[in-house]
Structure formats: C-alpha cells, structure tokens
Amino acid sequence: MLIEGKNAVREALKNNLTINKIMIDKSFATRKDEIINEAIKNKIKIEYLSKNILDKKSKTQKHQGFIAETVDFQYCSVEDILSYAKEKNEKPFIVLLDGIEDPHNFGAIIRSCECAGVHGIVIPKNRSVQVNETVIRTSTGAITNMLIARVTNIKDTIEQLKQNDIWVYAAETGGKEIYNQKLNGNIAIVIGSEGFGVRAIVKSHCDGIISLPLKGKINSLNASVACGIIVFEILRQREE
C-alpha cells in the first residue's frame, strides 16, 4: 500500500503507521524537512529517487515528492468502533456506506467524518470501493485517525447496532428533514451509493429516513457533500 503526498505521509508518521520505507524526491535531500527528520529519528529507510522514477511508482500522480510504502490497510471490527466510543465516554457516532464506488468520494467522506468526530465508518466487502491509494490521498491524512470496519452484510450490521441501542437512519430523499430530527443520541447514518442511494432492503432495516432540504432544480447531492452536511449537523446537535 502506498501513501502519497506530503500531508498524508506526515500524518502516517505522526500516527505511527508501520512504514517500510519512504521514497523522496532526491532534490529534497539537502533540505531541512520534518518528514525526513522524523523518518531518520524512527530509523525508517529513505530512498532518494528522481522525480521521473517517483512518477512511475505513483498511483495518483500527486505525490509531491513523497511516497511511503506501508503494510496493507488494517480494517477494524464494528466492536472496535463501539469500544472506541466507550473509551472516549461518548455516545456512538457511526457512518455506514452502502455501495460507495468512487474512491474520491470515499476519501472525502473519511475526511469529513474525521473532522466531525465520527467514531468509525463501516463499508461492505463487496460492491464497494475499498481503501486504496486514491482513497488515502483524497482523505489528506484523515484516514490515519479513522477506524474503518469492513463487513459482509450491511443489514446484519444495522441490526447489531440497533441491539446496542443505536438509532440507525438512512440519508435519502422523502424522509424527515434533518433539521427537524433529534440526532444527538447514539446514532448511525447510512449513506447510499452515488447512482442509486440507499438500497430498499437496507432502508427497511433502518429506524427512519432523514433528508436534506433541497431548494434547487437538482434533486440530489454528491454522496460526500451530503455526508459532510449531515455529520456536521449531528455534531452541532451533540454539542448543544
């Protein structure tokens, strides 16, 4: 797994991810740089390479002269997310993704969720984008602070959360307006796929549907934009 870009590599170092080596543009070799200093301090192997070689190794073509090679992303369990909320003495705040396929959307969702204090994100193993280099890059380092669980069945996970006294809402059109819904308790939000939204079978397992008021002629928002608005409204209500 490659982590690309200065901010993403810096966050990986800060959060003690297991890094095999860091490949750095050789033109930076004589500069005073916190990433280089931190890598030396932690005895992480550094390879100084030409920009052309870094370009060939890069999956995103946005490496900014820094590429870290790490072990594959370590997913957690849903229980880990619940335990994390308990350790922080906070009401669980979870986001489930039902079929997000665009890695840029996934990365942006991770970033918004991390900023809003979401305890963890749940994704399905199938029919969904997984954590990859583009997701890591788009999250701008936020992924190193976010627990992500990968499950076989989103419906079963919803039932598991409900058994733990967590209210689960699908974010879809046709529901109760989010600003009129109490969302400051134990809560999980389901965000649907870019093209089809939350599947009907998944909605049938939720406690309700919440919607954003749309005043324009377009009747839907990008999944990551909608998720960002919703998690920050929940944060607002939780802090009142």
Superfamily of domain 2-70: Ribosomal protein L30/S12 (3.30.1330.30)
How would residue 43 be classed by pLDDT, with cut points 50, 70 and 90? confident
Q: What is the mean pLDDT of residues 63-78?
A: 88
**What's the token pair of residue 60?**
């995103």
Residue pair 39/6 in contact (Cβ under 8 Å)? The answer is no
Percent with pLDDT over 90 in the chain: 61
Residues 6+ apart with CB under 8 A from 239: none
Give 6 or 110, the one with higher predicted confidence. 110
Per-residue pLDDT, 12: 84
Q: What is the mean pLDDT of residues 195-223?
A: 89
**Domain parsing of the chain, residue ranges:** 2-70, 78-238
105 has a pLDDT exceeding 90: yes
How would residue 199 be classed by pLDDT, with cut points 50, 70 and 90? very high
Domains 2-70 and 78-238 share a fold: no
Q: In angstroms, what CA-CA distances link 179 with 97, 152, 237?
A: 21, 32, 9
- pTM higher than 0.75: yes
Per-residue pLDDT, 14: 83
Q: What is the mean pLDDT of residues 194-210?
A: 93
211 phi, psi to nearest 5 deg: -135, 155
CATH code of the region 78-238 = 3.40.1280.10
Q: Angle 154-163/78-87 helices, nearest 10 degrees?
A: 30
How would residue 155 be classed by pLDDT, with cut points 50, 70 and 90? very high
